[in-house]
Amino acid sequence: MLDFDTCNAARLRRDPAFDGVFFIAVKTTGIYCRPVCPVKPPLTRNVGFLPSAAACEAAGYRPCLRCRPETAPFCPAWKGTLSTVERALKLIEDGALDHAPVAALADRLGIGSRHLSRLFATHLGASPRQVARTCRTHRAKRLIDNTALPMADISIRAGFRSLRRFNASFLDLYGRPPSSLRRPAR
């Protein structure tokens, strides 16, 4: 943790390098701010420094309405819609779209399926289904490379609904059937 003098100097300079590193708790107003807050700096004797927005709120401080410290760098709100896309990607990697529609994934994220598709198009340039298909294909490729399982078992473990879709996915991506990618036994 940074010492009081370092934090105070950064606060007085409104140093953006410290934004999200610590928060300023103003004892006289009961409000907490970011080091880059544009308001008139409070007196040094009236401030304390805490490591996170959650720590400030636990100590009884309210967020500043001007600098919005709950949206400081490195928190999900600061990343905006990208954090929703990252959560969706994690769920897709875990198989959320292997046997469920995009609408079910969107419900888990608390948004509509059309909005989820727009976010994917904006941030990734692909639809959730396309991303899920790529994840399944890469999962299957790892199984082909690292196991001796039959192709039918690999397709099921990788999340494909049928062997036909499994084969079609490999033909589209690699231009060859999945069996041709298996390394011969040594």
Task: Give the SS3 label for residue 19.
Answer: strand
- In the residue annotation, 64 being an active-site residue is answered as yes
- In the residue annotation, 75 being an active-site residue is answered as no
- In the residue annotation, 37 being an active-site residue is answered as yes
- The catalytically annotated residue of 7, 56, 64, 135 is 64
Give the neighbor-by-neighbor strand order of the sheet with 23-26.
47-50, 23-26, 31-33, 62-63
Which candidate, 74, 73, 108, 115, places its Cα nearest to that of 88? 108
Task: Give the SS3 label for residue 49.
Answer: strand
| 102, 108, 111, 113: CA torsion to nearest 10 | 10
- The catalytically annotated residue of 7, 56, 67, 135 is 67
- In the residue annotation, 67 being an active-site residue is answered as yes
Which candidate, 135, 148, 158, places its Cα nearest to that of 183? 148
* Spatial contact of 26 and 32, defined as CB atoms under 8 Å apart: yes
- The catalytically annotated residue of 7, 37, 56, 135 is 37
- The catalytically annotated residue of 7, 33, 56, 135 is 33
* Spatial contact of 136 and 147, defined as CB atoms under 8 Å apart: no
Residues annotated catalytic, as ranges: 33, 37, 64, 67
